[in-house]
Structure 1
Amino acid sequence: MNPLTPKVAAVVRREFMLRVKSKWFLLSTLGLPVLILGLMVLAGFLVVRGATDAGETRRVIGIADPADFIGDLLVEELVADSIDAVRATDMEGLSIDEARARLLSSTYDLLLMIPRVAGTRAAVMPDSASGESAAEAAGQDAEDRETTLLARDNVPSVVESSIRSALQRASVRARLRSVGVQSVDPGALLRRMSFDVVNVTESGEARSQDLYRGLSLGIAFFFYFVLLIYGQMVVRAILEEKQSDIVEVMVSSLRPWELMLGKIVGVGAVGIAQMAVWSSVFAIGAIYGLTAGASALAEAGIDIANLPIPWGTLALVLVFLVLGYLLYAGMFAGAGATISNEHDAQQAMLPVMMLIILPFMAVQGVIQNPNAGWAVVVSIIPFFSPLVMTARLFIASVPVWQWLAAVVLLALSVLGVAWVAGRIYRVGILIKGQRANLPQVVRWIRHG
């Protein structure tokens, strides 16, 4: 049985041109990238605008520090961040409830209440205490501290972040001062050291673990998104033929499996064309964004100019994704042949969608431990391999026999599903009325 027959090609061409010429295709293909990019630009503008407005609004923050531990230092740090801060000495003897009651009648927009226990140990520490004991006591202060910020109105996140950062720097300076250290930049002490985990394969190839984890999740989401859209399109294409008056004529001119295969490939070609346009637009945007942020990425240790591209892995991943689409498209086609109206479409597609959701969920566990026993087994199972094996190929060094076994089993499953779907389609395409039940479908498969 040669699937590349002129009749199948005619059906593919008909399905492709019918959908490509529609207004829906043009609108979604060209309009969706523009809409997404526009929303991203708008979201960025609103964030920047909100931060700018928050910074332009002058707020007076009072610092109530009854133990006089970090009050003056905190005022210095906040003023350095362009935030109006003063010592709230009139609030230092009050409890939180009393300060909350008096805040509305005060001159403060914000009031930072530092409990007395925060500075008690440093204040009563004897001069004979060693530097080690002082540092230990000062460290214990952080565990006892519960600072409260009282506000008249909503506190913008940028302001809250500035206050938290200033409070941390002032606390470090106070602890250092308590052990006799004066001229130390707290920002240098608090600066976090970053590192990138690089996996080295047997071939000597180095791969950034974080980068390929994100890529694995992105491809999994993309595959799920494609099947969600075009799987439903396959079901509705089958349903359209069942509801038309020319299906009998078409079946008399070509075999049912040829009609089913033509619809699957035709709808898939529409998806490939659409994804190619979307990918080109987003690739241009990604290249522009990476080029603009090259200096920032270089500071983080990422050299985009010398970023390795695993072409062999990408080609193998493409094989898995194409076979995975054919596998699920055949299942969608079989499900579509069992229904006769739009109302039953969602119920018929639900079992197939569950088989798509399960591997999508498994990917999130596989990227944490790609060589676990269960991950190896699941990555070879046909209904999981398009996503799970893809994730393992990006993250780990997969033995050849494992991905080769996964490809062979997946290809055999595509043929098996096509055979089953073809027998369902052969009978179901001509049956109209209520939705077929499971015993009927089994009978179609056995005698179709």
Structure 2
Amino acid sequence: MSLHGKRILLGVTGSIAAYKAASLVRLLIKSGAEVKVIMTTSASAFITPLTLATLSKNPVLTEFVKNESGEWNNHVELGLWADIMLIAPLTATTLAKMSQGQSDNLLTATYLSARCPVVVCPAMDLDMYQHPSVIDNLQKIQSYGNQVIAAEHGELASGLEGQGRMAEPEHIVEYLRYHFAKNTPLKNRKVLVTAGPTYEPIDPVRFIGNHSSGKMGFAIADALATAGAEVHLVHGPTHERSTQANIHHYAVTSAAEMYGKCLEIFPKTDAAILSAAVADFTPKAPAKEKIKKQAGEDSMAIELIKTTDIARELGTLKKAHQVIVGFALETENELNNAQEKLQRKNFDFIVLNSLKDEGAGFGHDTNKVTLIFKDEQSKSLPLLSKSAVAKEIVQEISRIFSQKS
């Protein structure tokens, strides 16, 4: 969907990520939108108003007073003009002002006057983005009805690497397209997503786990939320997080806990995407106290028992209107194993990835997958970011729902 005729009011604040506003404005104009830009005074230290005025074909506004004759930039009119107000990048300072209702500049005054939806794109360094006050403020402005496009993972201005980069302009434009697409097949759909590892306790200190980071599952949850779905994300221990308002989080630790939560949620949903790396085995009798090394003992045996196969159980419960997507991480006979799993667990399609592909699998920000369908058709994707892979998966789910309707 294009953004033809949509009126977008872009707020730019004083972050190093402000340089991305040039690409963002160019993409919005190319998509057919009409763009007006408001900048805070500190933003002009990172990108000039002239650049954004040239690209948007509209004067850039920074102050209430337009000129010495008493004309002023009417923040109320700006708020009424826009179909959507987009603040990208959003700094911690402007976020705090939004959460507290402060209006000491043209941007925040316009925000308080806007009757249109407001979408924000945070950009700040790793520790700032994770600070409890920032998290609280993001949650607070979401409670006001504002939408948050979560910061992305990558190299930050400080040299650290982690979550805090403003979403790429292409991703922001895609989010806006989804926003204006009234008839998207996932609008108001309820979707269960599992993500991350499970930890199976040996004793109160130790556990059996795996290297799953949860990145793929969280990317899928974000893509679904962007497409209008109500997402129920059940995740094991992970450092990943999302701040989108329509994602409900359920943190669990063990396979048994994940199974219990999925069993509770699944009957109420339209789809399930099972990307978690759930342990196949768990210690039969976890010790209640920390196990001590004993003199003369060179080995220790732990008896393991099978965990409940969550995917198979949900596949058994699946109704005609529901869609289930499974994952297969294989090291040998990848295609045959994935196809067998697809049929046995009653999936609509399965996402196959291999540890043999460089840049794919656990811990990476990229993935290389093949989508395998019930009719034995398949779709191999090149090495992509996990957010791009997630969008491909969501598109296929949308296609299936379109066929069902």
Q: TM-score range by the shorter chain?
A: under 0.3
**What TM-score does the superposition give when structure 1 sets the normalisation length?**
0.19
Max Rg structure = 1
With the length of structure 2 as denominator, give the TM-score of the two structures: 0.21
Q: Which has the higher contact order (CA 8 A, sep 6+)?
A: 1
Which has more strand, going by share of residues? 2
- Which protein has the bigger helix share? 1
